[in-house]
Amino acid sequence: MEAVTYSTLSSQETLRDPVAFYARLREREPLTTFMLGPMKIWVIATTYEETVSLMKDPRLVKDGRSVYQEGEAPEPLQQYMQQYGETLRLLTQNMLSADPPDHTRLRSLVSKAFTPRMIEQWHPRIQQITDELLDAVQGRGQMDLVADFAAPLPMTVISEMLGIPVEERAQFRTLTQALLHDLVIPGQESQAMAAGGTFIASIRKLLVAKREQPGDDLISGLLQVEEQGDRLSEDELVSMIWLLIVAGHETTVNLLSNGALALLQHPDQIRLLQQDPGLIPAAVEELLRFTAPVVFAGGRMAREDIPFHGQVIRKGEIVYISSVAADTDPQEFSDPEMLDITRQENRHIAFGKGIHSCLGAPLARLEGQIAFSTLLRRLPNLRLGCEPESLVWNSIHNLRSLKSLPVTF
Ligand code: HEM
C-alpha cells in the first residue's frame, strides 16, 4: 500500500468507497502519518476495540494548551498560533476543544436540550419542515437532493432551536462550509480563519439583538446563564453557538445525502424499507455505520509519549482516529462491507465514544428517521439522476460530503 498523504485521504477514490479504503488501512497500516501544513498528524485506523479505548484514553486530550507550558510548543505550532491566535482562541473555547473540568461545565449547560425526550418534542416540526421541502420539489420530478433537501432540513432545525433569524441562515451555511473545508486543506488556512472571523463577528451581532429582544430559544437561554454569573463567559458563549450551528447541521447533511445515495445503490434495501417502515430506526443506524458522514472524530493531542503498534506518538503530536475503520471491523460486525438495514446489535461509533460522544445524536437520529421515511413514502420512484461515477465529493479528509446528488422521481 502506498504511503498515506493528504491527497490520498481526500481523493475522490477514497471518498467514493471509504469502507474499502479504511478496512485496507486497518489490516495493513493501522498507524501512519501525513503532513498537514507544518504539522505531523498520526492517522489511526485500527480495530473496533482499540478505537473505542483510544477515544476514551485520557492521554489524548483536546486542549493543546494543557500539553505545553508557555513558549514550549514547537516552532511551527507557535507561528500558527501567533498568526491566527485570536480567531483560533475563540473557535476553540467550546466543549469539543475542551477537557474536564471545562468540558463537563460547558457540556452540562446544553445537554438537557438534547436529551431524547426533549428532542422528541421537535418531532412534529421536523416532519413539517421535511414535508414543506418535498412540497416545493414534488411537481418538478427532479431535484438536487443535497441543495434542495439534505442541507436545508438540518440547517432549518438547528436554526430554529437556537433562534437564528431566517435571513441569517444562508450566510451561516456558507461560512460553515468555508471554515470546515478550508481549515483542513493544506495552504487554505488563512481563508478558513477569515471565514472564522466573519462567523464570530456575525454571532456577536446576533447576541446584541438577542439581548435586546430575547426569545424562547437556546441562545436566549444561554445568554441568561452568561449574564447570571461565572458559569459561561461571553467568549465561551460565542464559541458554543458556532459549534452548535456547525456540528448541528453539516454532519447531518452528510447522513441524509450519503444515506440516500447508499439506498439508491441498493434497491433491495429500499424495497425492504418500503415493505416494513418499522425498519427505519435500524436503517438509520446502518447508514450511520456504512456511509461515514464523519470519517474522523475531532483531532486529539498526545499529552505524553504513547507507544502504539511498535511506534511512539510523541507528546504534542496530533492524532486522527478513524471511526470507519472500527465500524468495518469483522470482529465486531458480520459482513461489515455490506449494507444491511436489518443488522442486529449495531454498536457503531459514528457518533464517537467517551466524553465527547455526539451531543446531538438523538436529534440526528430523529432527523434521519423522519427524512428517510418521508422521502421513500412521498417519492416511491426515487432514482439516481446521474451515473454514480460522475458524483463529486468535497476533497476533505474528515467529512464525507457530496457536492450535489441529482435524483429523479
Ligand atoms: C449524522 C449526524 C452526526 C454525526 C455523524 C456526528 C458525529 C459526531 C462525532 C463523531 C462527535 C465526536 C467528536 C470527537 O470525539 O472528537 C460529535 C460530537 C459532537 N456533536 Fe455530533 N454528529 C452528528 C450530528 C450532530 C448534531 C445534529 C448536533 C447538534 C447539536 C451535534 C453536536 C455535537 C457536539 C456539540 C459535539 C461535541 C460533544 C463534546 O465534545 O462533548 N452533532 N459528533
| Residue pointed to by grid coordinates 479505548 | 53
Residue nearest to atom 40 of ligand 1 (CA): 96
Integer Rg of the chain from CA: 21
Dist CA 45 CA 47 (whole Å) = 7
- For ligand 1, pick from 254, 289, 358, 400 the residue to mutate: most ligand atoms within 8 Å of CB: 358
User: Which is it for strands 31-36 and 39-44: parallel, antiparallel or unpaired?
Assistant: antiparallel
**Structure confidence by residue, pLDDT tens digits, 122-163:** 999 999 999 999 999 999 999 999 999 999 999 999 999 999
Mean pLDDT of 31-38: 83
| Residue nearest atom 20 of ligand 1, based on CA coordinates | 358
pLDDT, average across residues 288-297 = 96
* Topology of domain 6-408, CATH: Cytochrome p450 (1.10.630)
Count CA within 13 A, CB hemisphere, residue 332.
20
Three-state SS at 293: coil
Q: What is the pLDDT of residue 67?
A: 87
9-17: long-range pairs with CB below 8 Å, 24+: 9/34, 9/43, 9/397, 10/185, 10/395, 10/396, 10/397, 11/395, 12/392, 12/393, 12/395, 15/393, 15/395, 15/400, 16/391, 16/393
**pLDDT at residue 193, as a whole number:** 86
- pLDDT by residue (tens digit) across 245-266? 999 999 999 999 999 999 999 9
Q: Give distance in angstroms: CA of 387 to centre of ligand 1.
A: 31
- Output the pLDDT for position 85: 79
Please tell me the predicted confidence (pLDDT) of residue 234: 94
CA of 88 relative to ligand 1 center, distance in Å: 20
**Higher model confidence: residue 391 or residue 186?**
391
Spatial separation of the C-alpha atoms in residues 53 and 348, rounded to whole Å: 14
pLDDT band of residue 171 (cuts 50, 70, 90) is very high
Does residue 354 contact residue 363 with C-beta atoms inside 8 Å? no
pLDDT over 70 at 332, yes or no: yes
Instruction: Name the percent of the chain lying above pLDDT 70.
Output: 98
Q: Is the pLDDT of residue 285 over 90?
A: yes
Ligand 1 atom with the shortest distance to the CA of 106: 41
pLDDT in the model for residue 144: 98
SS3 sequence of 123-158? HHHHHHHHHHHHHHHHCCCEEEHHHHHHCHHHHHHH
Ligand 1 center–CA 37 separation, angstroms? 25
| CA-363 nearest atom, ligand 1 | 27
pLDDT of amino acid 135: 98
Give me the mean pLDDT over the 337-348 stretch: 96
The alpha carbon of 381 and the centre of ligand 1 are apart by a number of angstroms equal to 32
Residue 363 grid coordinates: 436529534
Ligand 1 centre from 357 Cα, in Å? 7
Q: Which residue has the cell 445537554?
A: 111
Segment 352-367 mean pLDDT: 98
Q: What pLDDT digit, counting tens, does each position of 73-84 carry?
A: 777 777 777 777
CA-nearest residue for atom 13, ligand 1, is 297
CB atoms within 10 A of CB 401: 25
Ligand 1 neighbours (beta carbon < 6 A): 95-96, 107, 243-244, 247-248, 251-252, 255, 293-294, 297-298, 350-352, 356-360, 363-364
Name the region of 17 (left: φ>0; alpha: ψ -120 to 50; beta: rest).
beta
Q: Can you tell me the distance from the alpha carbon of 156 to that of 130, in angstroms, rounded to the nearest whole number?
A: 10
Residue corresponding to grid cell 434497491 = 267
pTM: 0.96
- Neighbour count for residue 191 (Cβ, 10 Å): 15
The overall average pLDDT reported for the chain is 93
User: Which residue, by CA, sits nearest to atom 2 of ligand 1?
Assistant: 252
Rounded Cα–Cα distance for residues 257 and 259 (Å): 5
Q: Is 201 exposed, middle or buried (0-12, 13-18, 19+ CB in 10 A)?
A: exposed
Query: How many angstroms does the Cα of residue 300 sit away from the middle of ligand 1?
Result: 15
pLDDT at 1: 52
- Residue closest via CA to ligand 1's atom 27 equals 248
pLDDT single digits (tens) 313-328: 999 899 999 999 999 9
d(CA 114, CA 372): 21
CA distances from 192 to 46, 78, 181, 186, 338 (A): 30, 18, 8, 11, 37
Provide the pLDDT for residue 65.
81
User: What is the arithmetic mean of pLDDT over 264-287?
Assistant: 97
pLDDT at 308 over 80: yes
pLDDT, residue 260, reads 98
Domain boundaries, the chain: 6-408
pLDDT tens profile 61-73: 999 888 887 777 7
pLDDT exceeds cutoff 70 at 2: no
Given a cut of 90, whether residue 44 has pLDDT beyond it is yes
Task: Return the C-alpha cell found at 9.
Answer: 485521504
From 386, 388, 361, select the one nearest 293 (Cα to Cα): 361
Question: Average pLDDT of 366-390?
Answer: 97
Segment 92-115 mean pLDDT:
95
Kindly give the distance from the C-alpha atom of residue 75 to the centroid of ligand 1, in angstroms, as a whole number: 31
Q: Answer whether 375's CB lies under 8 Å from 382's CB.
A: yes
What whole-number distance in Å separates Cα of residue 114 and Cα of residue 116?
6
Going from the Cα of 358 to the center of ligand 1, the distance in angstroms, rounded, reads: 4
φ, ψ of residue 94 to 5 degrees: the values are: -125, 175
